[in-house]
Amino acid sequence: MNELLNTFLTIMKEMEASEIQAIENPEVFTVHYEVTIDAIKQLSRNYASVLHNSQISFEVNCEGKNLGFENFNRVSDFLNVDENAQLTLAINKKQRFQLDENTFVFFKREFFFKSFDVLNTNFIKNINFRKSIHFYIPIEKEYSNSYVKLFPIENNKINYAADLDVDSVSELERLIKIREDTSRVTRSFFIPNFYEFLNISDDFKEWFDRNLFLASLIYLSNKFSDTKVIIRGHKNSEIDFSTEFCVKHAKIFYKKIFQFAYEEKHYNDKIEIARNILTIYLGTSDSTEKLDELIPKIEKTISSHFTAYIQDSIKKFFTDRKDVVKETHKYATDLKGESDKLLAYINTSLIGVVTAVFSGALGLSKGDRLFLIVAFTLHAAVFTISYFYNKNYVQERIEEIERVYGEYTKEFVVVAEKDLTDIKDIYIYPAVKNVEKYIIRYRNLIAVLVLLMIGAAATSCFLPDSLLNNKPEENKVKTTISKTGENDPNTQSVIDSIYK
């Protein structure tokens, strides 16, 4: 593989003076030479090993006929050696060099520029974004960033694209997600980070600066359409891509505007501010060349506007935080009310013990065993039903208070999520825990009372008859005596027999 690449590079060097045209894409390279028959014969002999088996495609256009390698060698002795002919060499780079999806070889810089251009959306389609992109191009030294590596084509070794580190993948996905959330995305583009190289050679710098500039513009725009972007802010601005100018302020646009706007915190507000300022400075129809001229002024204006925005946000933060704390007190008070209700339920249950005892005493006084059992059993049922009803009611109230509190705090976007959580932990959480503590106490009390009532009912079943009060019968006898007379001897004998 590397030997074939070096062989092809050697052929190109030898034929360089005779080259008339080259065509290249990421997969195939084709080059045309205007050269004498004698030079072609010499070339076919020197490199027969790679030309014979079509590793390098070979075709000669001579006297209106196209001759492949074998046919040319067969008739070359009959051709005028001083006559010029067109030689075409072609190679399938992807196949012959066994390149993976993210590794590319370009023999000509201009075709590398054309392919890797941020506006060339066809090139991006088959890229694996979880791997780095490797380019082997005519360059003197190696350059790299987190996503792209540029290698000299005469490196003598092809390094296949490696997996990106976790941080690079995370940053890539973050930027793409923000763009999807803040614009009308219709196609994929490389993030601007792909075109940021430090200390790159001057002959490459202009091209990379241009793409860094355009990529930053695309990611700040609302919509991309053909060869222009649309930004909606203070007004709508359409910006046409100017390709014939040297970008001067690409680094400022990328670092001070794009990176600033796409920071993790407040990116929605920052992007909106950037778009508003861009459209204030630009006309309804303008060019990237005009934008480049205005970048220093735009950057300063965006910075000052965001400073003012932060100051307003700080004021709003303290106002909102005060309101949140005040409202949280209210919700915590509501929760305390639920605790008071549980305490009232507990007291009511304790009063129920008194009624149970009274019912038991009444049953004993009547000498009615069934009344005693029914009274205790009914009290156990009432205690159980009231517990579950009251507990469910209080729990539903807690959930409702927390839900309403959550909906209320969503309105305060300036107050950080951590601050809202801290406020909730200080006021709401202890109140909830207090209610839950009373629920447990209430449950334990009811359990004891229910067991007590069931035990009392069970005990009533086995009470001896002698413990049941027979005063009703005694009163009946006394009533009879009062009617018949105290001195009746027969009555007296009855009384005596009863008390024996």
What distance in Å separates the CA atoms of residue 99 and residue 159, rounded to the nearest whole number? 10
What distance in Å separates the CA atoms of residue 360 and residue 85, rounded to the nearest whole number? 125
Which pLDDT does position 242 carry in this prediction? Answer: 78
Q: Where are the domains of the chain?
A: 2-96, 103-283, 314-467
**How far lies 16's CA from each of 21, 27, 35, 83, 231, in Å?**
11, 22, 11, 19, 47
C-beta neighbour count of 306 within 10 angstroms? 19
Which pLDDT does position 187 carry in this prediction? Answer: 81
3-state DSSP assignment of residue 409: helix
Q: Which of 71, 89, 73 is nearest to 33 (CA)?
A: 89
| The one-letter amino acid at 315 | K
Average pLDDT along the chain, 500 residues, taken 10 residues at a time: 86 94 96 94 92 90 88 88 93 92 94 94 90 94 94 84 93 94 85 92 90 94 86 90 85 94 87 90 89 91 70 48 55 60 61 59 59 70 74 69 62 53 65 72 76 74 60 46 49 49
Which pLDDT does position 258 carry in this prediction? Answer: 95
List of residues 6+ apart from 380 with CB closer than 8 A: 449, 450, 453, 454, 457
- What's the whole-model pTM score? 0.63
What distance in Å separates the CA atoms of residue 314 and residue 322, rounded to the nearest whole number? 12
84, two tokens: 């010029």
Which pLDDT does position 138 carry in this prediction? Answer: 93
What distance in Å separates the CA atoms of residue 469 and residue 365, rounded to the nearest whole number? 6
Q: Which of 7, 18, 115, 102 is nearest to 55 (CA)?
A: 7
Give the total residue count for the chain: 500
* Torsion from C-alpha of 265, 131, 8, 156, nearest 10 degrees: 90
Residues 182, 271: contact at Cβ < 8 Å? yes
What distance in Å separates the CA atoms of residue 225 and residue 498, rounded to the nearest whole number? 116
Which pLDDT does position 473 carry in this prediction? Answer: 47
What distance in Å separates the CA atoms of residue 10 and residue 16, rounded to the nearest whole number? 10
Instruction: Give 253-294 as a DSSP string.
Output: IIIIIIHHHTSSTTHHHHHHHHHHHHHHHS-SEEEHHHHHHH
DSSP state for residue 237 in the 8-state scheme: E
Buried/exposed code over 128-154 (b: 16+ C-beta within 10 A; e: otherwise): ebebbbbbbbebeeebebbbbbbbebe
DSSP state for residue 427 in the 8-state scheme: I
What distance in Å separates the CA atoms of residue 249 and residue 210, rounded to the nearest whole number? 9
Which pLDDT does position 106 carry in this prediction? Answer: 96
